[in-house]
Chains A and B, each alone.
Chain A
Amino acid sequence: KAGVTQTPRYLIKTRGQQVTLSCSPISGHRSVSWYQQTPGQGLQFLFEYFSETQRNKGNFPGRFSGRQFSNSRSEMNVSTLELGDSALYLCASSLGSLAVKTGELFFGEGSRLTVL
């Protein structure tokens, strides 16, 4: 079956602009999580969506937002970009459940954002 698809794969923006990243999860997966990856910081949790509801949110400023659609596809948006937002943004999907803890995450290859 098709894996997690993230678009765009690479993008360059300038400070102050905004960006929208898209994630299509594996068919049947209802949970989508977003992570920011930078050298030395590992994978920083941004947020998780399950059945169109934000279930968890990490310690990022309000400039970072996301949403999930009825088909489980998810988008994240970063407004007023800063140089420090340059990173690889990874999306991960899982079967998810209201009652079950995090199971195996299937990651996409990420969207590499460069802010100039």
Chain B
Amino acid sequence: QQPVQSPQAVILREGEDAVINCSSSKALYSVHWYRQKHGEAPVFLMILLKGGEQKGHEKISASFNEKKQQSSLYLTASQLSYSGTYFCGTERGFGNEKLTFGTGTRLTIIP
């Protein structure tokens, strides 16, 4: 089942913060975050495993709330280079479960 991302789109001025949410109705083993710039391939940002750990990547960090089956991606002091579409992908349980992506959140940073 496809995870739900919110918001669908957001426009920010350079230097502002953004939060992108990803939620699932099923118990999750992991949450993956990718960014895709226009006309380019998606690029890996980070993986979060169940256990509620928070990870960071430059000024981009994420958390995973195992109880709520939700993950949030935090972009602080956004830069023009952060523009793109952000996808969360979720995996359930163990075994050969497929990675299922949400429909994406389009982030536009303006000067």
Residues of A within 8 A of B (CB): 4, 33, 35, 40-45, 48, 55-56, 58, 90, 92, 101-110
Contacts and interface: CB of A to CB of B under 8 A. Distances in A.
A103 to B, nearest CB: 7
Given A102-B91, A105-B99, 6 more contacts: A42-B87, A42-B104, A56-B96, A56-B98, A105-B42, A110-B41
Contact of A101 (B30, B42, B43, B101): B30
B99 A102 contact: yes
Nearest to B45: A104
Contact size class for B? 20 to 34
Interface of B: 2, 29-30, 32, 34, 40-44, 47, 87, 89, 91, 94, 96-104
B47 A43 contact: no
B44 A101 contact: no
Give the interface centre of B42, B43, B47, B91 by most chain A CB atoms within 10 Å: B42
A107 B103 contact: no
A101 B96 CA distance: 7
Contacts of B47: 103-104
Contact of B41 (A41, A103, A108): A108
B44 A105 contact: yes
A45 B41 contact: no
